[in-house]
A and B are shown apart, each in its own frame.
Chain A
Amino acid sequence: ETGVTQTPRHLVMGMTNKKSLKCEQHLGHNAMYWYKQSAKKPLELMFVYSLEERVENNSVPSRFSPECPNSSHLFLHLHTLQPEDSALYLCASSQDSLGGNEKLFFGSGTQLSVL
């Protein structure tokens, strides 16, 4: 599949579990993002990576840990989450994060439920 792919599509985890979300982009973009989408709330930016370096971290709790091993892959490691962390987690990419082609291409998201 071309574009931005995310796995898994759905995830149910307990508060003591450790899991990881994966995102892969096949667009040759230099920037990747994690967004959180909760019901009745705006899309919230969590992390931005540009050329594999983190350039933005919007005061996200440490129980969320991003990793960007290369410009095509982005992970979000989860541990000891809370029920209020249940949401749709969207990955996105863009050509550049610093004023270049700023159109965001989103993945289909991972619907996370924390029990």
Chain B
Amino acid sequence: DAKTTQPTSMDCAEGRAANLPCNHSTISGNEYVYWYRQIHSQGPQYIIHGLKNNETNEMASLIITEDRKSSTLILPHATLRDTAVYYCIVRVRSNDYKLSFGAGTTVTVRA
């Protein structure tokens, strides 16, 4: 699986868009990008995933660069409840679908 690099931490203002970067320069053609988040003391929560096209759902948008070497998760209007650790994971969709969680980015939304 391709390795991902995320900033250790970042702050954003409540009500503003939060843009979370992820580098995955060794990604291969059949690897998907997944994003999860973990709010303190809770189980991780699936946010979104994509292969090469930009994706949007009710929680967030995922922008993947044309060369697929990096991606950005966008939380359009961050709230205090979005404070969490965000994990970017790159994985082949194989028949076991194991996901490996790294250290992630600690995002703090400030009032």
Question: Do A and B associate with each other?
Answer: no
